[in-house]
Structure 1
Amino acid sequence: MELKEILYDQMRLSSRLVRKLKRTKNILVNGNKIAFHARLRKGDRVEVIMEEESNQFEPQNIPIDVVYEDMDLLILNKQPGLVVHPTKGHPIGTLANAIVYYMQERGESFKIRFVNRLDRDTSGLIIIAKNPYIQQELSKQMIDNQVEKRYLAVIKGCLETEKGTVDAPIGRPYPEDITRKVYAGGQPSITHYEAVEQLKDATVVRLLLETGRTHQIRVHMSYIGHPILGDELYGGKADILIERQALHAEILRFLHPRTGEPMEVKASIPADILELITKLS
């Protein structure tokens, strides 16, 4: 078997990662650098060196809630109001800045690789891969719909049916507008929902994403006439009982890329959503 077959078929490395490893000469067989097409013998040891990459983010002492951590993964319960990654409008004060500070305090160093993203005002679970292989494998699971993503939300009104599915394409018809819409030219998007508690002119729902489009839950709930409370962008209007959209990424289920073991992580429901539910009960 050739070295390249080991890398692609058995180690399941992406073409992009293999090209980078070749360029940096970080593929070794029995401690030596050999030709990419060389044939290997039984007992040969293939070693791939993942070099640490630095982060360019300023460390900031912003509290983070660590739900799970090991040598490959850091999973956080993101608080609402926190942008995930620095942008032109939010160059500092982001989750990435907080993670760099967290690393420095622990004497660690790894490039921050977000596997999933959340809107600024959506709370809940964020996965950070600590090396490119883990990011690659989890991204594959995302594409193959092997990562189960469950959310909790408080929506306006009472649902006609306790359970349902919204299967409606979502897109961004106008590039200058950040809002997404349901329209024929959008990407296939599927959201499953289930009512768990009826409130005063509102409903607590749990949602399962079958696809992962930007703003998907917010768009789909608005589309069926039940926008998320506090979601001004999609018809939820400003709500005196909560200062952001009442949406929380509660549960993630996936296979650990290194061990293959099933993983389930859960983020506790934040205080502002619990308070909202109490006031509407």
Structure 2
Amino acid sequence: MSQFLNEHLIHRDEDFMVIHKPAGILTVPGKTADLQDCVINRLLQEEPRTLLIHRLDRDTSGILVFALSKFGQNRISRQFQERQTSKIYQAVVAGHLQGEGTVDVPVVYDPSRPPLHIADPSHNKPALTHWKATEHFEMQGQPVTRVELTPITGRSHQLRVHMQYLGHPIVGDTLYATPEQLLLDRLCLHAERLSFLHPKTEQLVEFYCPVPF
């Protein structure tokens, strides 16, 4: 087993494996030669059967699932596409955010400022996030809030844009936070829990990856 698999494997069976993706590494290769180091290429070196199911942003850490058979890829991918999976993220956001709520605002790519996305209420593709504040504390003397985020849809940059839309960007977000709100040298967004139906047994399986911040 390669060092990457050894350090980051959460679960493995015949049809899929669950990985703890560290922050700062792409899920799949980018377009240029300097962006070829990524999770799937590292896994393919050790496990040639590795197949893509879904992605996390480069700067997001946490649970990432890869298939080990076409059967597993088809069954699990369909659950992601049809929103039958359950995902819970943990984040630390700038400022004092109280209570809980829902952001129901479309998130779309902004071609004038790649790779940014924006909240655009006029767009027709929905983006829906439930949020719940769970802890208030200070980071470098600044008030911050730990929040539990449950994305119902899976748009690119959805959680990051929705937190910015609320006026509480995620700490460490170099795209959507102000310089004063960075506070840490990593994005404080982590895919903590994921559940779906096992492709063979159709029993609910749930995976957990502790928050590193």
Same fold (TM over 0.5): yes
Q: Which amino acid aligns with 1:233?
A: L
- Structure 1 equivalent of residue 38 of structure 2: 94
Compared with structure 1, are the counterparts of its residues 143 and 227 closer, same or farther at alpha carbon in structure 2 (3 Å cutoff)?
Answer: same
- Counterpart of 2:168? 226
* The structure with more radius of gyration: 1
| CA displacement, residues 214-239 of structure 1 (integer Å, 9 cap, x when unaligned) | 00000000011000001020125376
Once the two structures are TM-superposed, the CA of residue 194 in structure 1 deviates from its matched residue by 0.6
Amino acid of the structure 1 residue aligned with 2:156: T
Alpha-carbon distance in structure 1 between the residues aligned to 2:78 and 2:36 = 30
Aligned residues: 205
Select which of 76, 82, 85 maps to 2:28: 85
Kept after mapping to 1: 8 A contact 2:197/2:204: yes
Q: Does 1:193 align with 2:131?
A: yes
- C-alpha separation in 1, matches of 2:169 and 2:181: 12
Residues 157-191 of structure 1 show CA distances to partners (whole Å, capped at 9, x for unaligned) of: 111x4111000011114266211111112520000
Matched, 1:254 2:191: no
Residue in 2 that maps onto 1:180: 117
Larger strand proportion, structure 1 or 2? 2
Map Cα deviations across residues 87-138 of structure 1 (whole Å, 9 max, x no partner): 22344321122212332xxxxx41x322120111100010001122211111
* Alpha-carbon displacement from aligned partner over 1:29-56 (angstroms, at most 9, x marks no partner): xxxxxxxxxxxxxxxxxxxxxxxxxxxx
Report 1:163-174 matches (<5 A).
163-174=100-111
1:137 matches 2:75: yes
Length-normalised TM-score, structure 2: 0.89
2:86 matched to which residue of 1? 148
Work out the CA distance in 2 between the residues paired with 1:162 and 1:240: 23
5+ residue gaps, structure 1, are 1-59, 104-108, 274-281
> Are residues 133 and 237 of structure 1, via their aligned partners in 2, closer, same or farther at CA, if it must alter by over 3 Å?
farther
Q: 1 CA distance for matches of 2:191 and 2:180?
A: 21
Q: State percent identity of aligned pairs.
A: 35
SS at match of 2:56: coil
